[in-house]
Amino acid sequence: MNLLERCHLCRIDLKHIRVVRGGQEVLRDINMHIHCGQLTMLIGQNGAGKTTLIRALLGEIPYEGSIRHEDGQGKAMPRMTTGYVPQHLAFDPDIPLTVLDLMGAALSRRAVWTGVGKRKKEEIRAILEIVHAGELLDRPLGRCSGGEIQRVMLALALHPAPDLLVLDEPVSGVDENGQRLFLNVVNELRRGRHMAILMVSHDLNLVRDYADHVVLLDKTVLMQGRPETVFESDAFRDTFGMERRQL
């Protein structure tokens, strides 16, 4: 198992994406791209449609328009593996569940109480090492920090190895050190596996420091490009009421 081998995807093109829910147009005429080897960050105010766009991209809700996955030769890929990290993992911190228990159950689809064999344990340890969390293997989930839990969720999203990694505000509520560690790991994945990564974030400082490509959303794409291009645009100022120099 080599999670760091280069993926086969080259880019994802979203063209004229429209989503209507409950009779209301939630997204309209979304045109954007996600390239491999880049961290694309999706920004916008609450209610801008960021989560809806992610759900459409994951195939969880119906949409109009097209989402095309292309390989390095520009040919459509019939199948693509996507990893997903949610904003939070909901669990009871008092339950005596370790990181090993959680990952063993998730990766083998077996009940937690059946235990984890020696071979599977070493496989899980190797996956955790990729996100710099090998020391968490036997730690109870209730004793993990928010940032540590998110790195565990990131490790789970890497198996099977994804072509596209989707991160939905993965460091919301995580302390600054945890945020930076998580984003540094994401950068390692982007560079080492040439992975396409889409991340939703409300922290504009993190966007400025880590994003390769930024998409500003308000039910449609208002602006996209390099962070400095988006932050210096009229659309950004109108959306957030600030200039780039205030960040």
Taking the C-alpha atoms of residue 24 and residue 130, their distance in angstroms, rounded to an integer, is 42
Of 127, 159, 191, at which residue does a domain stop? 159
pLDDT of the residue at 195: 86
Query: 99 lies in a domain?
Result: yes
Q: What is the mean pLDDT of residues 209-218?
A: 97
Tell whether the model's pLDDT for residue 245 goes beyond 50.
no
**167 and 247 part of one domain:** yes
**Single-letter amino acid, residue 116:** V
pLDDT of the residue at 113: 67
**17 and 112 part of one domain:** no
**124 and 168 part of one domain:** no
**108 and 222 part of one domain:** no
Of 137, 159, 181, at which residue does a domain stop? 159
pLDDT of the residue at 219: 97
**215 and 176 part of one domain:** yes
Which pLDDT tens digit goes with each residue over 103-142?
998 888 777 667 788 899 999 999 999 999 999 999 999 9
Q: Report the DSSP pairing between strands 164-168 and 82-85.
A: parallel
**67 and 167 part of one domain:** yes
**7 and 66 part of one domain:** yes
Structure pTM?
Answer: 0.88
Closest CA to 50 of 216, 226, 214: 216
**46 and 141 part of one domain:** no
Which pLDDT tens digit goes with each residue over 51-86?
999 999 999 999 999 999 887 777 887 777 899 999
Tell whether the model's pLDDT for residue 6 goes beyond 70.
no
Which tokens belong to 22? 């409950």
Confidence of residue 8 (pLDDT cuts 50, 70, 90): low
Tell whether the model's pLDDT for residue 39 goes beyond 90.
yes
194 vs 229, higher pLDDT: 229
Which pLDDT tens digit goes with each residue over 148-200?
999 999 999 998 888 899 999 999 989 999 999 999 999 999 888 888 999 99
Domain residues for the domain of 12 are 1-81+163-247
Which tokens belong to 24? 């209301």
Report how far apart, in Å, the C-alpha atoms of 122 and of each of 7, 12, 98, 119, 134 are. Answer: 24, 34, 15, 5, 10
**207 and 229 part of one domain:** yes
**138 and 68 part of one domain:** no
Query: 86 lies in a domain?
Result: no
**125 and 28 part of one domain:** no
**213 and 234 part of one domain:** yes
Query: 115 lies in a domain?
Result: yes
Query: 116 lies in a domain?
Result: yes
Query: 29 lies in a domain?
Result: yes
Structural domain tally of the chain?
A: 2
Confidence of residue 242 (pLDDT cuts 50, 70, 90): low
Of 143, 159, 175, at which residue does a domain stop? 159
Instruction: State the CATH number of the domain containing residue 179.
Output: 3.40.50.300
Which tokens belong to 109? 């689809």
Q: How far apart are the first and last CA of the chain?
A: 42
238 CB contacts (<8 Å, ≥6 apart)?
none
Query: 135 lies in a domain?
Result: yes
